[in-house]
Amino acid sequence: MTDTSTTAPLFAPTRLGSLDLPNRLVMAPMSRHRATADGVPTPIMAEYYAQRATAGLIIAEASTPNQVGYTYPGIPGLFTEAQTAGWRHVAEAVTAAGGRIFLQMEHGGRIGHPDNSGLVPVAPSPIALPGTVQTPSGQRDAPVPREMTTDDIRETVADFAAAARLAVRAGAAGVEVHSANGYLLNQFLATSTNHRTDAYGGSVPRRIRFVVEVVEAVADAIGPDRGLRISPDNLINGIAMDDADRLFPALLDALAPVGPAYLHVGYADPAAPLFGELRRRWPAPLIANPVLGRRLPLPADGGTSAAAELLAAGADLISFGRPFLANPDLVARLRTGAPLNPVRRDVSMYGGDATGYTDYPSLT
C-alpha cells in the first residue's frame, strides 16, 4: 500500500521548459525493440505510448540520430523521412490521448555491430565494449570501434541537432539527449572509454566538450525544450570514471549558460554525495530515476518510498521505467494506492508483439 502523504508532491502540476505538466511522474525511456529494420516506429508503438498518456511526461525510447549510431535490432531512428512519419503517428496518438512526449536521442558509439548498422561502430577511442552486442543472429562479441575524427565529431553534433529538428517536426514536445548508461556521450565522459589526446579527451574540460557541444547544437536547433540524461552512478557497459565527483559538476557548470529544460539523473541515490552536489548546482528542474534494483520483482510499493526520498532530497520530478512498462495507468494507481501489475517475467522486455507490451491491463 502506498503512503500517499509522502508522495503527494508527485501529483502537483509543474512546468518543464515551455510545457505545463499535470503531474510530476515521468515515464523513463525504455527501448522495446519494436521498430522496423529501417528504424521506423510501428503502429503498436503508438498504441503503447498512448496507453501511458496520463504520465506527466513520456520520454520515449532511445532513437539513433544517424546510421552508425544504431545499437540493437528494432531500435527506432530519427534521421529519415519515414522514421519521422512513424514518430508523427506516435506523437499524434499520445497528444490525442491528452499526453506529452519527448523523444530520446541516443548514439550507441562502441555499443553497436556491423550486423545491425552495416557500419563499423565509432567511439572516442578504439576500445571494444567488454562483452557482447545483440544482433539478428544472436549475441556477438562487440567489435573494436573506429576512433572518431574531429570531422566525425562535428558531423555527429550536427546529426543530433538535425534529429532534434525532426523530433519537433514529428510533433514531439521536445527531446532528451542521452548521455547515460555507457552509450556514445557517456563514452566521451568516461576515463575507461576516452583515451584521446586531442581537444575531446584527457582533462575534465576536454572530456565534457562533446556533450556540451551536442546540447548547445540541440538548443540552437529547437530552443528550450530539451533535457539531458546522465547516470553518474550507473557504471554499466564498461564505464569507469576516475573523477565523476569533479566531472559532473563541471558539466553542469558548462551547461548553465545553455540551460537545458531539465537534468534527468538515472540511478539516482539520494544519499550519494554527488546527487546532493548536482542538485545544489542545477538551477532548473531535476528528474530523478529511483534505484529500484536491476532484478524483478520490483519493490511491492512500486518505488514510491524511493521516490519520496528523492523528492525530500530535492528532486522535482520522478521517472519510473518498469512500473510504467507494466502499468499503463501508473499515475492513477499510485495516486489511489491501488496495487500494481507486476512486470511479466515469461516474456522478454525487448522485441516481440503485443504480449507483454500493449496487453498490460488498466484498472478502468
Ligand X SMILES: Cc1cc2nc3c(=O)[nH]c(=O)nc-3n(C[C@H](O)[C@H](O)[C@H](O)COP(=O)(O)O)c2cc1C
Residues near ligand X (CB under 6 A): 28-31, 61-62, 104, 178, 180-181, 229, 266, 289, 292, 320-323, 349
Question: Which residues are CB-contacts of 252 (< 8 A; sequence separation ≥ 6)?
Answer: 263, 278, 281, 282
Asked if 357 is an active-site residue, the reply is no
Comparison of 84 and 181: residue with beta carbon closer to ligand X: 181
Query: Using an 8 Å Cβ cutoff, are 55 and 25 in contact?
Result: yes
Query: Nearest approach, Cβ of 287 to ligand X (angstroms)?
Result: 11
Give 186 or 196: the residue with its C-beta nearer to ligand X. Answer: 186
For ligand X, the closer CB: 34 or 322: 322
What distance in Å separates the CA atoms of residue 148 and residue 109, rounded to the nearest whole number?
10
The stretches of 17-143 forming alpha helices (DSSP H) are: 43-51, 81-96, 114-117
* HSE toward the beta carbon, residue 194, CA cutoff 13 A: 29
Q: What are the grid coordinates assigned to 1, written together?
A: 500500500
What are the contacts of 243-247 at 24+ separation with CB within 8 A? 243/191, 243/204, 244/274, 245/273, 245/274, 245/277, 246/204, 247/189, 247/204, 247/207, 247/208
Spatial distance between the Cα atoms of 320 and 333, rounded to a whole number of angstroms: 13
Q: How far is the CB of 69 from ligand X (least distance, A)?
A: 12
Positive or negative torsion for Cα 173, 176, 219, 168: negative
Nearer to ligand X, 196 or 211 (CB): 211
Catalytic residue among 183, 267, 357, 360: 183
Sign of CA dihedral 235, 241, 243, 247: negative
Chain residue whose CB lies nearest ligand X: 321
Measured from the CB atom, is 107 or 207 closer to ligand X?
107
Q: How far is the CB of 321 from ligand X (least distance, A)?
A: 3
CB of 151: closest distance to ligand X in angstroms? 27
CB of 39 to ligand X, least distance (A): 13
Q: Phi, psi at residue 262, to the nearest 5°?
A: -155, 160
Residues with catalytic roles: 183
